[in-house]
Amino acid sequence: MNWEAIGAVGEVAGAVGVIATLGYLALQIRRSNSATSSETIHQFLGDWRDFCREWMKDPELVDLHIRGTEDFQSLSREESHRYFLFMLQFVFQAQIADEMNEQGTLSKYDRDVWVNFVVSSFNSPGGREVWRQCSHIFTPRIAGILTEGLENMDPGKSWMARMEYLEPRDKVSAT
């Protein structure tokens, strides 16, 4: 075997080593992206869980949400602000879900679930009034997505209206 043949074998071995290294790096990057995506989703859901826990602990907030959903105009000035800020949380969650989907860290299905939940949350007399007053403060993308969702949904068909136990007691006993 001459030196040229030995050199050619060395080049082939080097190329195989480079390819193996690139394959290994690609695998590690995929694993890292998967772990990051999973961690991001857990944080997203954890933030929402914490928000709901605080909401559950506060009977006044639950009552405010019920009254604001039914008739936003009936709320006092302070209550209107609290209800408005409460509803903002829904929009921010939808916006985060949409951004995560755009970045590839949340599936389109999961993003659509969140967006539909938020649209449904605003699909009440009070929710629609709040959206009418505040939709302009959000990014054009999320405002457009939520506005289109509300336009395509039958008015008054919020997720709460679909659950008998969340209906006002006088409506439940009448059925």
Question: CA dist 49 to 9, 11, 45, 93, Å?
Answer: 60, 56, 6, 12
Query: Does residue 31 carry a pLDDT above 80?
Result: no
| DSSP at 75 | S
Which of 94, 89, 93, 87 is CA-nearest to residue 68? 87
Q: What is the pLDDT of residues 71-104, one digit of tens each?
A: 999 999 999 999 998 888 889 888 988 998 898 8
Token code pair at residue 147: 């506005």
173 pLDDT band, cuts 50/70/90, is very low
pTM for this model (two decimals): 0.66
**Distance in angstroms (rounded) separating the CA atoms of residues 29 and 175:** 57
pLDDT of residue 25: 81
Mean pLDDT value across the chain? 81
pLDDT of residue 157: 63
Amino acid at 92: F
Average pLDDT (5-21) is 82
